């Protein structure tokens, strides 16, 4: 960012304020493009993964090679769909909800460092900010369910709100040990603290077994946070028709769809950043791999893991989901925080 | 409103009082939510409509509303002759049409006093059991889907495809066969290695595919959590409501028409009736009904193997096909064990070419009634599990 800032002030002769705005605009465009592309690629990937797990191929025709253009074609089709708003719906909220859901996913991307010093908003409360803005999603879902004036949507929204608010607690608690280890909430510092190969990553159970447990707590909570199987309570197509987005069509539906994949990629990238060493290559001598590529590969692997779980397991029931959160995951996460702290004190790892 | 005694199933309702009974916020009236589940709903297995009254996630009243698929099949039976009506039986339980054919032709044969060659009976048993496997596969698949497990669905459909291919080779149809006729079957076993292929498939199914489903779905922790102790139909309720088939046996009642009221040549074969034993929870819960179906697939494999290995030579039809068959005046009732349960046909003849009245006792219809009792006090998710575990087919309910 420093580089880009210097370029705008030095080469183009912009003032400090002008340069800041330009950098922000450039980063926003990059982030949004990357996100939209990711969502499209992940949609395709989900179909192929699901296909191969179910002994079929998935899309094979559009774009010749393994149906790579299927997601693009779907997006184009969905753009041409009629935008239906139910007559009895709360129109303002109905229109605003999908935007808010997507916004929640997109805003968080600002604080994700893709490579050393390549981050749109580099600030010390980065991790805190990420978890804070991604909570906007739940407001959007609640809004969508309420505004649709449909009982199934309301059910989905109520389940979604209960689930996502509950699972934010273990999600945030799971990264606390990492913050303790790095001594900072800045994502860049957290990654830099893991420099030096796979054994320096936070997931390494020998350095600190509690961080290893915390990773799994984070992973399970992140599945619930993205509303994907086996925790897809707000949608539950076999119970609630389509949950909170039952009444949505066309581009508004696509917003929810994009948000799901943006969110999925986001939580996976955070896991890669916090537990799997961010942009660092796993072994020395692999320094020639671009840092951003390292980071993305880790994120995509976690996304694959997420899809694997989704297409293997049945769905839990809503009360079992809450039971798991409040009676299992939150206590274990708290234990991780305490345990990690004691461990670090004992071995002098605390900063 | 549900009465107090039926609410004990509801999780969290220890006091027996629902949220809506209590005056939580003075001045604010709370009431039950009316919810239409279906006829367009992904989990109602067709065009079933369940009228629910819910209090949050808990169901207080379930009323099945039927008739969206009514096609007057029984009335049509009064206008077409006996042989022509076989085609309508295919459309009852379209997931196991061979069993439906079988039920009807046995009734007509009883009415006419017609005997059936041994070879035809063997073929009938084999294709009926193949149909039963296909139907049970769909039951397992869609039940898994109701629980949110997508992948077993595709696996089960993959094996069902094999069955459809086999049945296509013997009957010419993939889904609606119109294969059995009064006095035999329409075509003989094809001479393109059909018997060997069926035996191969049966071996594959028993030794390879069923263990695969078991590891993927049956003994999955989440699946057991979702289905054990859920939607418990005790033996008395099952008998009172006239449940039959895997629903009845899932409740631990040892009854199977194939053994207890033998028809065709079932008495010749060695197999066992499978019962729910409450292995994961209570006897008669959703998991029991599921496992009864899974184990019946195994037993069907055994029956098919014996029926085809002992396949006798001889004619496959009792008489040359005549376009019009007349039945003597009288009445006949026969029942067979279809994939869904006891499928009965009651035919009254006045001596003409068509039936005077044809009444079908369809198992899905009787099995569905139990929802009204057992569904009360369950959560919405559990109601989906219950309806899925009953394995209803709307084509058979509405006829």
Q: List the structure tokens of B107.
A: 């009734």
> Is the preceding omega at residue B39 within 30 degrees of 0, hence cis?
yes
Residue B8, pLDDT above cutoff 80: no
Residue in B closest to A56 by C-alpha: B154
Q: What is the pTM of this model?
A: 0.84
Residue in B closest to A158 by C-alpha: B56
Grade residue B320 by pLDDT with cuts at 50, 70 and 90. Answer: low
Contact between A55 and B223 using a beta-carbon 8 Å cutoff: no
- 3-state DSSP call for residue B185? strand
B:55-74 residues touching chain A, CB 8 A cutoff: 57
Contact between B144 and A314 using a beta-carbon 8 Å cutoff: yes
Distance CA B272, CA A78 (A): 54
CA distance A132 to chain B (A): 29
CB B16 within 8 A of CB B7: yes
Report pLDDT for B4.
Answer: 39
**Per-residue model confidence as pLDDT tens digits over B17-50:** 455 555 556 666 667 788 888 787 777 777 888 8
Report pLDDT for A18.
Answer: 76
Contact between B225 and A230 using a beta-carbon 8 Å cutoff: no
Measure CB to CB from residue B222 to each of A53, A232, A316 and give the nearest one: A316
B:113-132 residues touching chain A, CB 8 A cutoff: none
- 3-state DSSP call for residue B152? helix
Q: List the structure tokens of B34.
A: 């009316």
- 3-state DSSP call for residue B354? strand
Q: How many CB pairs under 8 A join A and B?
A: 77
CA distance B25 to chain A (A): 20
CA distance A333 to chain B (A): 22
Contact between A317 and B382 using a beta-carbon 8 Å cutoff: yes
Distance CA A180, CA B89 (A): 70
Contact between A238 and B155 using a beta-carbon 8 Å cutoff: no
**Per-residue model confidence as pLDDT tens digits over A102-114:** 888 888 888 888 8
Contact between B381 and A318 using a beta-carbon 8 Å cutoff: yes
| Residue B220 at interface with chain A, using a CB cutoff of 8 Å | yes
Grade residue B14 by pLDDT with cuts at 50, 70 and 90. Answer: very low
Grade residue B5 by pLDDT with cuts at 50, 70 and 90. Answer: very low
Residue in B closest to A242 by C-alpha: B42
- Kindly list the distances between the CA atom of residue B213 and the CA atoms of A58, A188, B20, B302, in Å, as whole numbers in the listed order: 21, 46, 42, 19
Give the pairing type, strands B330-337 and B184-185.
Answer: unpaired
Contact between A313 and B222 using a beta-carbon 8 Å cutoff: yes
Mutation choice for A interface testing from B11, B55, B381 by most A CBs within 10 A: B381
Contact between B154 and A230 using a beta-carbon 8 Å cutoff: no
Mean pLDDT of all residues in B43-68: 83
Measure CB to CB from residue A314 to each of B42, B149, B154 and give the nearest one: B149
Residue B33: its chain A contacts at CB < 8 A?
151
Distance CA A299, CA A272 (A): 6
Residues of chain A with pLDDT under 50: none
**Per-residue model confidence as pLDDT tens digits over A220-258:** 998 888 888 788 877 777 677 778 888 888 888 888 888
Residue A327: its chain B contacts at CB < 8 A?
none
Burial of B190 (0-12, 13-18, 19+ CB in 10 A): middle
Residue B16, pLDDT above cutoff 50: no
**Structure-model confidence comparison of residues A25 and B323, the more confident one:** A25
Measure CB to CB from residue B380 to each of A53, A54, A239 and give the nearest one: A239
Contact between A236 and B145 using a beta-carbon 8 Å cutoff: no
Residue in B closest to A54 by C-alpha: B151
CA distance A150 to chain B (A): 10
Residue in A closest to B383 by C-alpha: A239
Grade residue B13 by pLDDT with cuts at 50, 70 and 90. Answer: very low
| Residue B161 at interface with chain A, using a CB cutoff of 8 Å | no
Residue A56: its chain B contacts at CB < 8 A?
154
**Per-residue model confidence as pLDDT tens digits over B244-295:** 989 999 888 888 888 888 888 888 888 888 888 888 888 888 899 999 999 9
| Domain positions in chain A | 82-346
CB B71 within 8 A of CB B371: no
Distance CA A252, CA A163 (A): 23
- Kindly list the distances between the CA atom of residue B65 and the CA atoms of A304, B143, B244, B261, B398, in Å, as whole numbers in the listed order: 43, 21, 21, 33, 11
Largest CA distance in chain B: 82
| Residue B380 at interface with chain A, using a CB cutoff of 8 Å | yes
- 3-state DSSP call for residue A288? coil
Mutation choice for A interface testing from B9, B37, B150 by most A CBs within 10 A: B150
- 3-state DSSP call for residue B93? coil
CB A189 within 8 A of CB A137: no
Contact between A315 and B154 using a beta-carbon 8 Å cutoff: no
CB B245 within 8 A of CB B341: yes
CA distance B299 to chain A (A): 26
């Amino acid at each position: 960012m420093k580089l880009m800032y210097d370029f705008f002030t030095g080469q183009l002769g912009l003032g400090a304020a002008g340069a800041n705005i330009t950098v922000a605009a450039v980063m926003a465009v990059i982030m949004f493009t990357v996100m939209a592309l990711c969502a499209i690629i992940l949609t395709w990937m989900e179909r192929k993964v699901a296909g191969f797990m179910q002994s079929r191929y998935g899309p094979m025709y559009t774009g010749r090679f393994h149906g790579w253009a299927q997601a693009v074609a779907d997006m184009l089709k969905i753009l041409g769909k009629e935008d239906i708003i139910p007559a009895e719906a709360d129109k303002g909220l109905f229109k605003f909800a999908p935007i808010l859901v997507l916004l929640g996913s997109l805003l968080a991307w600002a604080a994700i460092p893709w490579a050393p010093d390549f981050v749109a908003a580099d600030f010390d409360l980065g991790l805190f900010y990420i978890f804070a803005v991604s909570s906007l999603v739940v407001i959007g879902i609640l809004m969508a369910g309420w505004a649709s004036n449909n009982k199934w949507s309301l059910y989905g929204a109520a389940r979604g709100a209960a689930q996502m608010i509950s699972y934010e607690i273990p999600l945030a608690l799971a990264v606390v040990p990492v913050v303790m280890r790095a001594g900072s909430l800045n994502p860049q510092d957290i990654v830099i603290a893991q420099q030096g190969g796979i054994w320096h990553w936070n997931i390494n159970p020998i350095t600190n077994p509690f961080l290893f447990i915390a990773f799994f707590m984070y992973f399970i909570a992140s599945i619930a946070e993205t509303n994907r199987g086996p925790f897809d309570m707000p949608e539950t197509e076999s119970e609630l028709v389509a949950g909170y987005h039952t009444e949505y069509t066309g581009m508004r539906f696509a917003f929810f769809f994009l948000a799901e994949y943006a969110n999925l990629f986001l939580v996976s990238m955070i896991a890669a950043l916090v537990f799997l060493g961010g942009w660092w290559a796993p072994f020395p001598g692999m320094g020639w791999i671009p840092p951003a590529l390292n980071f993305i590969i880790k994120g995509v692997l976690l996304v694959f893991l997420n899809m694997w779980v989704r297409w293997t397991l049945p769905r839990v029931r809503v009360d079992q989901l809450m039971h798991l959160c409040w009676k299992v995951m939150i206590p274990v996460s708290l234990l991780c925080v305490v345990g990690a702290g004691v461990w670090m004190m004992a071995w002098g790892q605390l900063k | 409103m549900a009465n107090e005694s039926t609410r004990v199933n509801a999780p969290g309702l220890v006091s027996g009082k629902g949220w809506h009974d209590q005056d939580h916020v003075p001045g604010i009236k709370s009431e039950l939510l009316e919810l239409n589940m279906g006829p367009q709903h992904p989990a109602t297995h067709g065009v079933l409509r369940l009228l629910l009254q819910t209090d949050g996630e808990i169901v207080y009243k379930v009323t099945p509303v039927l008739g969206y698929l009514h096609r007057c099949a029984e009335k049509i039976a009064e206008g077409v002759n006996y042989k022509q009506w076989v085609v309508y039986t295919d459309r009852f339980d379209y997931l196991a049409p061979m069993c439906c054919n079988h039920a009807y032709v046995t009734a007509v044969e009883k009415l006419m006093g017609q005997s059936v060659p041994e070879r035809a009976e063997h073929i009938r048993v084999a294709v009926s059991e193949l149909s039963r496997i296909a139907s049970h596969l769909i039951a397992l698949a869609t039940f898994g889907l109701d629980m949110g497990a997508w992948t077993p669905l595709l696996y089960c459909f993959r094996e069902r495809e094999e069955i459809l291919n086999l049945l296509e080779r013997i009957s010419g149809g993939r889904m609606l066969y119109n294969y059995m006729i009064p006095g035999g079957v329409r075509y003989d076993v094809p001479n393109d290695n059909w018997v060997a292929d069926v035996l191969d498939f049966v071996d594959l199914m028993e030794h390879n595919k069923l263990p695969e489903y078991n590891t993927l779905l049956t003994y999955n922790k989440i699946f057991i959590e979702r289905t054990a102790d859920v939607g418990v139909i005790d033996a008395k309720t099952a008998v009172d409501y006239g449940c039959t088939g895997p629903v009845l046996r899932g409740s631990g009642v040892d009854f199977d028409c194939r053994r207890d009221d033998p028809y065709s040549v079932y008495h010749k074969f060695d197999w066992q009736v499978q019962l729910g034993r409450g292995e994961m929870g209570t006897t008669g819960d959703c998991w029991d009904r599921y496992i009864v179906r899974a184990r019946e697939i195994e037993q069907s494999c055994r029956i098919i193997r014996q029926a085809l290995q002992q396949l006798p030579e001889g004619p496959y039809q009792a008489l040359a096909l005549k376009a019009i068959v007349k039945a003597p005046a009288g009445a006949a009732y026969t029942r067979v064990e279809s994939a869904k349960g006891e499928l009965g046909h009651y035919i009254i003849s006045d001596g003409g070419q068509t039936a005077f009245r044809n009444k079908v006792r369809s198992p899905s219809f009787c099995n569905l009634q139990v929802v009204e009792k057992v569904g009360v006090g369950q959560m919405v998710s559990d109601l989906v599990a219950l309806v899925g575990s009953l394995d209803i087919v709307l084509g058979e309910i509405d006829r």
